[in-house]
Amino acid sequence: LQKSLSEIFGADKYSRARKEVLTYMFSRPMQMALYFCTGVLDDETLFHHYALNVPFYTHFTSPIRRYADIVVHRLLSASLGARPPIKMEKEAIQKQADHCNDRKMASKRVQELSSDLFFSIFVRVRP
């Protein structure tokens, strides 16, 4: 597959741009991860990470980047006994997770539209 894609991308001055845009478009259908509060879900199979094949998984990055990561850090820290428990009901945590998911999806949609616009212009100006 990689060899076929490399041949399609070509070796001209636009090959790198073509590769980046098309690779991004190929990966678009992959399912996005969602934030959720485990306390509101009864089905523990939803905690499974498909690609890593682990039954329980949590993900976070540096808490300086996103609010959702700050919440995950605080909840994980509290669950490990390193800080006092969070004084939020699980429904309130889920509401925050839903809001973060909405913002993340909106941001991804804007990114996709921007890529679509770039690709359209790229195709139009390419001889």
Chunk the chain into consecutive blocks of 10 residues (it has 127) and report each block's average pLDDT, rounded to whole numbers. 69 78 69 81 82 81 77 89 91 93 90 88 82
- Confidence at residue 81, expressed as pLDDT on a 0 to 100 scale: 94
Contact 122, 13 (CB under 8 A): no
**How much is the pLDDT for 84?**
93
| Tally of helices (H runs) and strands (E runs) in the chain | 4, 0
Task: List own/partner pairs for 110-113 with CB under 8 A and 24 or more apart.
Answer: 112/28
Q: With beta carbons less than 8 A apart as the criterion, state whether 72 and 60 touch.
A: yes
pTM of the predicted structure, to 2 decimals: 0.64
